[in-house]
Amino acid sequence: MAYIYDDQNIFAKILRGEIPNRTVLETEHSLAFHDINPQAPVHVLVLPKGSYVCYDHFALEASDAEILDFTRAVGQVCKMLGVQADAAGDGCRLIANAGAHGVQEVPHLHVHVLGGRILGRMLPPAE
């Protein structure tokens, strides 16, 4: 089944400059900005500029240049915000929701970079 991209989603509008954002990083193929409803002291969204619905869509159809740029952008954002999992940082959580079961709210691939505090378990332990 084909991926269906809605070019009227909020992130498409941000990428077109129709809606303002608080940019953290912009590269040739990616944009990172602060979430308007942060769930942690650090909460930044990183998205590719291409029309990709979710991570699997991106991984299957993006160019090598887009994939490299996006991956490096996530790493740069973590470094810029001090949430790397290296000796100097306490780490972070990266979340990319996909589809209905993943509770994806905006149908444009985006990774949440969350940090600045202990985030707790992502899911309760399996029983």
Query: Is 65 exposed, middle or buried (CB count within 10 Å of its CB: 0-12, 13-18, 19+)?
Result: exposed
**Could you give the CA distance from residue 90 to residue 75 in angstroms, rounded to a whole number?**
14
Which one-letter DSSP state was computed for residue 94?
Answer: E
Q: Is residue 108 among the annotated active site residues?
A: no
Which member of 43, 108, 110, 112 is catalytic? 110
> Phi/psi zone of residue 41: left (φ > 0), alpha (ψ -120 to 50 degrees), beta?
alpha
Active centre residues (catalytic): 110
